[in-house]
Amino acid sequence: MIGMATMTSRERVRTALARQEPDRVPVNYSANAGIDARLKAHFGLTPNDTEGLLQALEVDFRIFFPPYRGPRLHPDPPEPGVTVDPWGIRRRWIEHPSGGYWDYCGFPLRDATEEEVARWPMPNPDHFDYAGARELRKRCPDAFLAIGGAGVPDIINGNGMLRTMEQTLVDLAIDDPAGLLLARRRAEILFTVIERTLEILKGKADGVWMGEDLGTQIGPLISRDLYRRHLRPIHQRFVDLARAHDLPVVIHSCGSSSWAFEDFIEMGIAAVDTLQPEAAHMAPSYLKSRYGDRLAFHGAISTAGPLATGTPADVRTVCRQTLAIMMPGGGYCLAPTHAIQDNTPTENVLAMYEAAKRYGRYR
């Protein structure tokens, strides 16, 4: 345990990711637009004051990926209400009783050949706004600043948004040249963007965040052989880049993904994010006992459990139980498993962060 003084967020998260005990468990935040707006209103903040909300919740993390500022690469789709991003991914807004979400549609590379994938317009790393990393570091000097995000390189989802999930999984199984080329092209651009961001920060970044959803609710999404053959080599490049800068790596993976944790450990990954407790082989007690001496953990407060469907007392109970399992010896950061959903009561979110402050102290 380090000292007795209160740590900065940078010190706190670094200590936790090194599987040691900080002054308190670090916390993180992610939410959909509806509940995010309600939380800002609760604290008397303007709709755009995201930093004010993070400070109000005492969030330790800031995650940065540079925004694209280059030329438009793809025309508007003909379907009304459908948007397109610089990668050519098409989305449409789907409303539901508590809010809505952006759903993927169109899948323009569903039947593309290798030659068509090679010609597909993609963002140039020169056209991203890297200066924002320095500005964020200056605004939040004591926060733990991670570069990247769950979409880096996120091969299965990233390819799936352009090629459909079904075709993406077939691509991996049969070594389809078009799908594998798409994965390599996307990953190379993302790698260069992360590399340049780290160089811009000149040693002031605190970590690298990456992602790859590898589980369903009941088991692996792909075989270990496919992971090692197609995905792990690409992932390893990002891990090696982070380690060259002496930075820890956090990897996001949804569902029942603990089957891949031994690979993560071998690769040099420091922590795993999401930790859906309702998925197979993802209970906090199982993860802590099996991997807690070699991996740190981030997440585990289910956005589909009491946080959304229970009372504030239920939320406090599940947070306290999770902390009691995950805290000993360090190595845990409390966070929702995914973006907090719009059907979540505001008071439940507040209860989660209050529980972290009340029960998450080591001294």
Q: At what angle do helices 177-201 and 155-163 cross, to 10 degrees?
A: 130
**For the whole model, what pTM was predicted?**
0.96
Among positive and negative, which fits the CA dihedral 182, 86, 198, 274?
Answer: negative
Q: pLDDT band for position 2 (50/70/90)?
A: very low
The rounded distance, in Å, linking the Cα atoms of 344 and 285 is 25
Share of the chain above pLDDT 70, in %: 99
Query: What Rg value do the Cα atoms of the chain yield, rounded?
Result: 20
At residue 4, does pLDDT exceed 60? Answer: no
pLDDT tens profile 185-199: 999 999 999 999 999
Domain ranges of the chain: 9-71+116-359
pLDDT of residue 363: 79
Confirm if 256 and 217 have CB atoms less than 8 A apart.
yes
Share of the chain above pLDDT 90, in %: 97
Confirm if 284 and 326 have CB atoms less than 8 A apart.
yes
Q: What is the CATH number of domain 9-71+116-359?
A: 3.20.20.210
Longest dimension (CA), the chain: 61
pLDDT tens profile 46-69: 999 999 999 999 999 999 999 999
- Strand order from edge to edge, sheet including 99-105: 82-84, 90-96, 99-105
pLDDT of residue 5: 73
- DSSP conformation class of 3: -
The rounded distance, in Å, linking the Cα atoms of 162 and 247 is 31
The whole-chain average pLDDT of the chain stands at 97
pLDDT tens profile 155-171: 999 999 999 999 999 99
Average pLDDT score over residue span 125-154:
98
pLDDT tens profile 212-241: 999 999 999 999 999 999 999 999 999 999
Confirm if 340 and 30 have CB atoms less than 8 A apart.
yes
